[in-house]
Structure 1
Amino acid sequence: MAERPSNLDEAQQQRRMAKKEMIKPLLGNECEIHNYSLQKITVGILGTGDFARSLATRLVCSGYDVIVGSRYPKCNESLFPSAIEVTSQREATNRANIIFVAVHHEHYSTLNKLRDGLMGKILVDVSNNVEVNEREESNAERLASMFPESTVVKAFNLISAWALQSGARDGSKQVMICSNSQEARCMVVEIARNMGFIPLDFGLLSSAKEIENLPLRLFPSWKMPIILTVVLFVLFYVYSFIRKVIHPYVMKGQNVFYKIPISVVNVALPCVSFVMLSLVYLPGVLAALFQLRNGTKYKRFPCWLDQWLQQRKQLGLLSFLCAALHAVYSLCLPMRRSARYQLLNEASALSRLGFTALVVSTLHVLTFGWRKAFDSTQYKFYLPPTFAITLIVPCIVLPTKAFLFLPCVNRKLKRIRRGWETSHQAKFREPGEADSVAHFSMESTSRV
């Protein structure tokens, strides 16, 4: 009986330890969470520009002691709130633990006189370039080579001064961080989190060049949809040009080149819109078939399918743009001809009812083109009518969608998307492995 209290104490102690382990955030084994005290960290900022002023204000509001280093402290002191101390660059580097280098990368050489104060400190490089891949090495790598005694972290270059002032919203919440020092990364991660941003660990400093190129890429998610739209338009335009202009000229000697700027374009635009609208729903159908085959939602999609799923919004907007242009071009034609496309225009304009638009557009094309499909005179140069080509993708999407709507199939698909698995041996694999080479997007899965 005398040993019972000690056993109870030992059991309680084990429960407390287990509880502490459960409280720890699940951030992986590579980065340990350091509970740095805000009062022990003095953040220094070299520079007095717009970004430096916004950053200093945001850091003070987040509970940090901030000291700004300036070449002309008396002139720039009035630009900062009274809670921020503005002093010389040398004094700021000597007193700060973490230093934000908020100067242009062209002026890094002016920091050589501060080498003693920067020794052993963490330097956060926030600079950007003017052009993509402006130099062979990134600005952060250049700064690290200039100050090998310091630890350089690339971060906050995607955050604007406006975002620092008005607060993190939408895409401006993400702070991409990379450094060769794990401890330095964790410290900057903690600072970004305390400021209300979402830190993203990009690993070693070699990723800095990729991070610096991101702000210079114009609409990266629109690249492939725009290329696809242009390619489809060129193909349908050339195809319609051969059928409507070249064929009458060769076979009958008719000069109908006046159709090139309006009539031929107005044939290509609705075809592109129709095919693009079909491509919005085709990846969702393919993803559902993948999930049914795998019996789980936790297996990665192929890379091409994952990217396709993430670009459906862009495909839909470009489809609507082509439909709108088709409507404008139709106004240039006689009313008796533009009335033929009225149903397709109305169907494509139903952006909120995309699948309904696809069904109505398909029915519209079948209604007006059914007789022409069996008319031999429509096969000019043995080429089928344009509408027959546009029906290929919708005729794949709609029957497959109908199959997925079957109660037995739909019930199983819903169970899989709620987490049910056919086999409990699903494994997560890296993108480079054999059976799966893609990154699985949770956002894409939720919208399938």
Structure 2
Amino acid sequence: MEMLPDLWKEDYWLPPGVTWRDMEQMGDSNRPRPLDLLIALPLALGFVALRYMFERFVAPPMARCLGVKNRFQVTAAPSPNLESFYIQNRREPTQSEMEGLMLSCRKTQRQIETWFKRRRSQDKPSKTKKFGEAAWRFFFYLTAFVAGLSCLVDKPWFWDLRECWRQYPFQPMERAHYWYYMLELGFYGSLLLRISVDVKRKDFKEQVVHHLATIFLLSFSYCANYIRIGTLVMLLHDSSDILLEPAKMFNYGAGWRRSCDTLFVMFAVIFLVTRLVIFPSKIIHTTLVLSMEVFEPFAGYYFFNILLMVLQGLHIFWAKLILHMVYKFLKGKLEKDERSDEESEVEEEEEDKGGEENKDPGVDCYWEKNSNPHLVLRLRGGIIEPSLKQLAQKYNCDRIICRKCYARLHPRAIKCGHTRNIRMRIL
């Protein structure tokens, strides 16, 4: 503290009239100290290692039990020029760039477009990877929620929010609340360390802001002895997360649609109630209004409430996505998480457009789901390879084609339960 006198000025962290010397009278074992936060770094690294072991040895058997299967991907043919362009730009080439690639690679435009689609498909995270991330988060959120509830349910501030500020800042800290804080801080630190290698979704920037705001919020509230209100904030957030992650897990599996939908509806209700009703009306109202009954505003008071407002802004953003998903669910069109990665969403839209442009409703046909996972075939650009004819003869079906080709012939096609490919027979 002596090395950074300006950072640790009492005006920033403590109410007017309270000094660090006054806080030291509580004893080292009963008061939060800034140096205690250093343990969060090894805990974050420990969570990274534990998560690696969990996703390697625990998540795969769980995924097999739920029927999680990865799509078969057609590997892009080796092409040094196209690979170099893809690594440097991570996007489709423009028309001028396409002409240059056609000359250098001696390929047609259709072949190059197909190559880029296949190459992007290789970079997409598999279902087992997504399942492992969801399972790990569910394991932690469930453990944290149960542990947090058990150490808070008998506390007076759990039932009466005014107790959060009684005798503040001279409030002794229990060891259970200390570990509750450190484990949550270490967990969010591990999420921030791995965010660049985790599944990248459309709300990537919002996730970064959320993790940073949470870490600052936990760190500051611990140093300023906002322990009581801080534990309530953590418990409130974990209450809805324990339903979101298992909903994702069932969504990645096969044959669990009803369980996924039930959990999603429960999550949506709890999220909207806790984040848009309880959080602003109880938590923020407590920190903004009720705290003023005990002390006058100071710098830490404003900083803490600004961080809570940032979280509330993120709650509103995610609530908008959830309500959009609820609308699609009621319409019967909900097939995936609204936060799915953008590339996947764009490619699916392209395939849908390809089918709509080539409708031919005059063909009499019927279709059925392919129950054999070994027939999983992922074709790009509507190309039917010769090997498909052999597979069709071996498994006694007329033809096996990709979704885009099938939609051109039969726009009412039903997707297979295992993949987006379709087994079809012409009458």
Higher strand share goes to which structure? 1
* Structure of greater Rg: 1
Report the TM-score range of the alignment, normalised by the length of the smaller protein. under 0.3
TM-score by length of 2: 0.26
TM-score by length of 1: 0.25
Higher relative contact order (CA 8 A, sep 6+): 2
